[in-house]
Amino acid sequence: MTVLVTGATGMFGARVTALLAESGVDVLAMTRSRERAEEMTCGSVTGVVADLDDPSSLSAVMEQADRLFLVSPMHAELGRREVAAIESAQVHGIDQVVKLYGSVRHEGDQLDVQHQLSIEALRNSGLQWSLVSPQTVMETNLLGQIEGIRYERSMFGSAGDGRIGMVALDDCAQVAAHVLRADPSAWSERNLEITGPEALTYTEIAGELSKAFECPISYIDMSEDAFAAMLIEYGVPAEELELQVLCHFRQMRAGKASLVTDTFELVIGRPATSIFEWARAHRDAFGLSDD
């Protein structure tokens, strides 16, 4: 069996590629860069070059694959890009598509409109498909705060008191890899919402980091405008701000990221990773011991 992984150089795609390869599955790891394709080629992983913005480039990789893990960046063209991949999967008779979605209730915002285009195409495709839907991810939220935590012992955001069922990247990738190895009918047309074990506010998350790092970390809550201005000052490109950051904090503040499920435990057979466990395992990345 060969799985084509789109976005293979990205956060989810790279981890799913590694997990599939560890279990001996042949992976076609897709990137737009020939150099990165060569770097990724090792063992059962073959780097392949294609571009979701150039549907004609997809045929050559799709025809070598049996299954597809579909992930693309949070971008205004996410829908069009993923629909191109789904159409190519139909042409090439792909046995199963596992699409990365999300379980924060974005409910009609720009990002969700894009995801719904892709989901609608899957529903109408006649293909066997499943959704793997992470809550907002610890790596994105907490590794993104490294500088503030290391130098100011503070995290910044505009999440207010919203509760968040934040989930570890690895837990989501484990579920995606499991579904991609299973009989395609086993999880067909299911939306697997993967969350952490509990929903905490950002202030409570700072408390968990304080325990894990054995030093006080605080959370500074800001208005959305003040937070946006700070991010621009720190170099986040203005055109990325809404889809990459602000729409997520808005939903967290509104309590739309509070879902907690036992799906990870049901699929994988052990409890989901807590913030405290994740923070202990990633302590070195925060460089606190160097101070």
Ligand X SMILES: NC(=O)c1ccc[n+]([C@@H]2O[C@H](COP(=O)([O-])OP(=O)(O)OC[C@H]3O[C@@H](n4cnc5c(N)ncnc54)[C@H](OP(=O)(O)O)[C@@H]3O)[C@@H](O)[C@H]2O)c1
Binding site for ligand X (CB under 6 A): 6-7, 9-13, 31-33, 36, 51-53, 71-74, 81, 100, 102, 111, 134, 136-137, 140
Q: Count CB-CB contacts under 10 A for residue 118.
A: 25
Strand pairing class (191-194; 218-221): unpaired
* Among candidate residues 172, 233, 248, the one with its CA nearest the CA of residue 19: 172
Nearer to ligand X, 12 or 213 (CB): 12
Q: How far apart are CA 248 and CA 164, in angstroms?
A: 11
CB contact at 8 A, 192 and 178:
no
For residue 204, CA distances in Å to 69, 152, 161, 164, 211 come to 34, 18, 9, 10, 11
Sequence-separated (6 or more) residues with CB below 8 Å from residue 136 = 102, 104, 164, 166, 167, 248, 252, 257
Q: Which pair of tokens denotes residue 110?
A: 């720009």
Nearest residue to ligand X on Cβ basis = 10
Find residue 5's DSSP bridge partners. Answer: 29, 69
> Between residues 9 and 263, which has the closer beta carbon with respect to ligand X?
9
Task: Please state the closest distance from residue 30 (CB atom) to ligand X, in A.
Answer: 7
Q: 9 or 201, CB closer to ligand X?
A: 9
Instruction: Give the side-chain half-sphere CA count within 13 A for 267.
Output: 26
Q: How far is the CB of 68 from ligand X (least distance, A)?
A: 13
- Of the pair 216, 257, the CB lying nearest ligand X is at 257
> Whose structure tokens read 């199963």?
96
- Nearest approach, Cβ of 273 to ligand X (angstroms)? 14
Min. distance of Cβ 289 from ligand X in angstroms?
A: 27
Angle at 268 between CA 205 and CA 265, to 5 degrees: 50
Q: Between residues 149 and 288, which has the closer beta carbon with respect to ligand X?
A: 149
Task: Tell me how far, at minimum, the Cβ of 110 lies from ligand X, in Å.
Answer: 11
- Residue 249 or 286 with smaller CB distance to ligand X: 249
Phi, psi of 47 (to 5 degrees): -70, 135
Closer residue to ligand X in complex, CB, 103/288:
103
> Shortest approach of ligand X to residue 179 CB, angstroms?
15
Q: Provide the minimum distance between the beta carbon of 209 and ligand X in the complex, in angstroms, as a whole number.
A: 17
Give residues with Cβ within 8 angstroms of 73, minimum separation 6: 7, 10
Among residues 18 and 288, whose Cβ is nearest to ligand X? 18
Considering the complex, what minimum distance in angstroms separates the CB of residue 290 from ligand X? 27
